Amino acid sequence: MKIQDRIRQLAEENRQKTAECLSRLVQTKSYSSKEEDVCRLIASICEDAGFDEVRIDGLGSVIARVGHGPKSLAFDAHIDTVEVGNMANWDFDPFSGEIVDGLVKGRGASDQKGGAAAMITAGRMLKELGYDGEYTIWFTFTVMEEDCDGMCWKYLIEEEGFKPDLIVSTEPTSCRIYRGHRGRMEIRVILRGISCHGSAPERGVSAAYKAARAALAIEQLNKDLQPDEERFLGKGTITVSQMDVKGPSQCAVADYAMLYLDRRLTWGEDADLAIAQVREYVSKATGDKPEDIIVEMPDYGKTGWTNKEYSQELYFPTWKIDADHPLVKAAVADYEALFAKEPVVDKWTFSTNLVATTGRHKIPAIGFGPGDEAQAHAPNEINRVEDLVICSAFYTLLPYALEGRIEA
C-alpha cells in the first residue's frame, strides 16, 4: 500500500478518537495565562500516545517530539482561548465539547484546539508507521497567543534556543494552504490640552476636540493606505479601538486624550513607517507640532501559569513565503497525493504565532488547519470532524513529502 493511502486509512480509523480528543480539550477551560489544566492534559495524552519526548517549557507550552532526524519540522497550535463573551449569544454550553452531526462544539473548537487534536493524532500515527526519516518532528502546544501572538515562540527561540528549520501553524484555514498574513502592531497616541472652567471653554484648549479630529484623521489614513506590490496580502489598515478623555473635573475642559490604534501591516510596512504616518496625520489634524504628540508602541507583559514573567513590545511583523518555496511545494504535493485534487493556496486575514517564527526570525512556514477563520472569537464556535481527519493525514504525510517519499 502506498504511504499516502496508508496514512489516509489511519486518519479515518482515528476519526472518533480525534474528535473525542478535541472534545476533551474544549471541555478543559484555558484562558490566556491560565492554561495549566489543558497543558497537563495534552502532556498526558502525548505520553500515552507514545511520543518520544514530552516536556513543558519555562513559559508553560507543551513541547512534544517524534523522531530524531537531523532536520526539524514543527507543528504549532496555541491552546489558550478567548473568553465566551455574552452567554446570551450562545445556543449551547461553550464548554460542552459536544460531538453531534459531524461537529465538535465549544469555545476553542476552531481557534484553535482543533489543530492541537489533529496534531496529537498525527504524532500517534507517525509512531504507528514507525517514522524514522530525515526529520525530527516537534509538536508545540503554545500559551498566551490570544493575549500576545508569537510571544510564546519569541520565548522559545530567544530564551530556550529552540529554532526548528520549518514550521506549520495549525490555526484554522478551512483545510487550505496559507503562505502569509499581514503583521500588526498596537499604537498609543497621547494628546495634551489646557484645562479651564467649563463655563468659559474659550479660555482653554480641549484635548477632547483634538481627539475627535485625530480620530477622523486616522479614518482618512486608513483610506489612504495602499496594498502590497504583489497584491497578495492586500492593504494595511488602521482603526481607533479605544479613546479616553480626561480633565480635572466634570466641569472643566479636558486636558488629556488617548487614542489606542490597531494597525495591520502589509508587506513592506513596518513599525517605524506606521508610527511616522500616525504622527503626520494627527499633527495636521490637531495643529500640534509633530514632536509635541506622543505616538508610542506599548509593551505587553504577563505572568504565565508557571509563574514566569515575560514581555515584549506590541509589534508583530508581516510574513510570507513564495509560492514556489520547497515547503509550499511539498504541502501541495502532500494534499494532492492524499485527496487527488489541487489545494487552495491563500493567506489569513488575522494574525498568528508565525509573526514571531517567520516575521521576526525568518523560519519558513505555512498554515494548514481545521475549521474556519470566521469561527474565531465568535459565539457558537464549532469545528468539523472531517476537517480533523483531513488535517491529521496532512500533518502525518508532510515529512514524507518533504523527503520526496510520496509514491506515484
350-362 mean pLDDT: 97
DSSP 8-state symbol, 361: T
Q: State whether residue 321 is helix, strand or coil.
A: coil
Provide the pLDDT for residue 408.
82
Check whether residue 239 and residue 155 sit in a common domain: no
Yes or no: say if 161 and 367 are a contact pair by the CB < 8 Å rule. Answer: no
Q: Which three cell numbers stand for residue 194?
A: 489646557
Q: Is residue 233 assigned to a domain?
A: yes
CA atoms within 13 A on the CB side of 208: 12
Domain that holds residue 194: 184-300
Provide the H-helix boundaries in 78-186.
114-129, 151-160
Query: Residues 40-57: pLDDT tens digits?
Result: 999 999 999 999 999 999
Same-domain pairing of 36 and 139: yes
For the chain, the distance separating the N- and C-terminal CA atoms, rounded to the nearest angstrom, is 11
Are 16 and 123 contained in the same domain? yes
**312-326 pLDDT tens trace:** 999 999 999 999 999
Note if 80 is an active site residue.
yes
CATH assignment of the domain containing 230 = 3.30.70.360
Residue 245 to residues 203, 249, 375, Cα–Cα distance (Å): 18, 11, 34
In the prediction, which pLDDT does 131 show? 98
Q: Above pLDDT 90, what percent of the chain?
A: 100
Among 30, 15, 122, 37, smallest CA distance to 76 is for 122
Q: Name the active-site residue from 35, 57, 76, 80.
A: 80
Whether 317 contacts 233, CB under 8 Å: no
| Same domain? 176 vs 192 | no
Q: Is residue 334 part of a domain?
A: yes
Q: Tell me: the pLDDT tens digits for 269-308? A: 999 999 999 999 999 999 999 999 999 999 999 999 999 9
Which three cell numbers mark 164?
A: 526548528
323 in a domain, yes or no? yes
- For cell 506606521, what's the residue? 274
Residues 146 and 206 occupy one common structural domain = no
- 217 and 231, same domain (yes or no): yes
Number of domains into which the chain is organized: 2
> Predicted confidence band at 407 (pLDDT cuts at 50, 70, 90)?
confident
Active-site residue, selected from the candidate residues 145, 269, 372, 373: 145
Beta bridge partners of 99: 104
Q: Which among 267, 300, 333 is the end of a domain?
A: 300
In a domain, 313, yes or no: no
β pairing state of 382-384 and 53-56: unpaired
- How much is the mean pLDDT over the chain? 98
Residue 145 falls in the annotated catalytic set: yes
The predicted-structure confidence for 369-395, as pLDDT tens digits, reads as follows 999 999 999 999 999 999 999 999 999
For residue range 188-231, list pLDDT tens digits in order. Answer: 999 999 999 999 999 999 999 999 999 999 999 999 999 999 99
Residues with Cβ within 8 Å of residue 247, at least 6 apart in sequence: 193, 195, 207, 253, 254, 255, 256
- Alpha helices of 81-229 — where are they, by DSSP H? 114-129, 151-160, 207-224
Q: To the nearest whole percent, how much of the chain has pLDDT over 70?
A: 100
